[in-house]
Amino acid sequence: MKSETSRASEPQADVMPLAGVKVLELGSLIAGPYASALLAQFGAEVIKIEPPKDGDPLRKWRKLHNDTSLWWYTQSRNKKSVTLDLKREEARGIVRKLAAEVDIVIENFRPGTLEKWGLGWEQLSALNPKLIMVRISGYGQSGPYSQRPGFAAIAECMGGLRHVTGFPDRPPVRVGVSLGDTLASLYGTIGALVAMHHLKSHNGKGQFIDVALYESVFAVMESLIPEYAEFGFERGRSGASLPGISPSNTYLCGDGHYVVIAGNGDAIFKRLMHAIGRDDLAEDPELARNDGRVKHNDRLDQAISEWTTQRPLAQALQVLEAAEVPSGRVYTASDIAKDPHYEARGMIQRETLPDGEPIDLPGIVPKLSETPGRTKWVGPALGSHTEEVLASLGIGADEFARLRADGVV
């Protein structure tokens, strides 16, 4: 039998930290829906509003299984799908009823769209003074660009990320995911939780959170602006290296694979140099600190490259790991799927698709010790919760049948 101490430290599997929190999601694709997805993974009841005929366009993005995107099944897990044609006033009336009883509304329409429909902040907060509303858009709710359409690709340019991504002799490139959307989702989620804490712990009132895609990118650009303000320095593209921090780069191994080595900590640098047989560089006082190493970055990269190109990736990693130097291979999806650390940490979760076929989904982050998030169901079929949710508003079967016949739901 387990002791009381060990039992107390076990996760409370049936308790989810956001249980009782109700979220209304108005929007599509990535930034808004991913923010509500994060809340759903930790127990919030998320009611997602979708157009009746085709639903969220994400349902058809990337690889499809039985005509539904595998991305959809991941991003929309634990959500309830309700179909409403927001171009119809009767549907908007239902949204108002829902907004009057939820804790959080998350939307990512172009600024002004919800106001035209009578669903803006002023209208919904009048119905629900404690409402928290997360508003995600390309450029924010104010400013001269606010009415422009905004996608992550454009936000990553305006936020400064694209200019520093890639190699200096080639055009700017993008990372392989919609990073601007994801960053905005994270800031939106943080804003919602901070506002909810203020509301419940400090006798506060409801408020809206204004999240701009470009600002979410700009916020993670580290010292970009201070360096420009002080020195007029404009950081450019530096390929696979980390500018101003040395040594940190991607190096070719003898078998054609690449190894990423981050030897930029002072003690780590010494261990790295000893590991590759360059005791002279390890003990050089001019290289003892980062500012000195940066001046000789090309020389250090050459020394490391001469070492990596003489051995296969596996051998290089073995030596570096023994020396406690941060290093790693460049993982592919297949590398991730068979990696023992991913498995041990529960980062690949086996779930079941609606047709009974098993599917692997990414695990839930972050990991809470007592009340972890979990997947209760994968992304739902279009409109599968419409009747249930409308019934909670007092709309009976006959009225629901009429709304469906009229194309409202």
The rounded distance, in Å, linking the Cα atoms of 369 and 375 is 16
Q: Which of 181, 291, 335, 360 is catalytic?
A: 181
The rounded distance, in Å, linking the Cα atoms of 279 and 79 is 57
DSSP character at residue 202: S
Residue 74, classed as helix, strand or coil, is helix
Residue 263, classed as helix, strand or coil, is coil
H and E: helices and strands count for the chain: 19, 13
The rounded distance, in Å, linking the Cα atoms of 384 and 386 is 6
- The long-range contacts involving 4-13, CB below 8 angstroms and separated by at least 24 positions, are 9/369, 11/368, 11/369, 11/370, 11/371, 11/372, 12/370, 12/371, 13/372, 13/374
Pick the closest to residue 14 from 302, 392, 371, 377 (CA basis): 371
> Do the bridges between strand 132-137 and strand 104-107 make them parallel or antiparallel, or are there none, so unpaired?
parallel
> Do the bridges between strand 45-50 and strand 22-26 make them parallel or antiparallel, or are there none, so unpaired?
parallel
Q: To 5 degrees, how large is the angle CA 240–CA 246–CA 250?
A: 30
CA 180 to chain centre: 9
Handedness of CA 141, 145, 150, 154 (dihedral sign): negative
Do 205 and 124 touch, CB atoms closer than 8 A? Answer: no
The rounded distance, in Å, linking the Cα atoms of 130 and 126 is 9
Q: Would residue 205 be called left, alpha or beta, if left means φ above 0 and alpha means ψ between -120 and 50 degrees?
A: beta
DSSP character at residue 162: G
Is 181 assigned a catalytic role?
yes
Pick the closest to residue 100 from 118, 82, 127 (CA basis): 127
Q: What is the CA radius of gyration of the chain?
A: 25
H/E stretch holding 107: strand 104-107
Q: Token digits for 360?
A: 């692997």
The catalytic residues are: 181
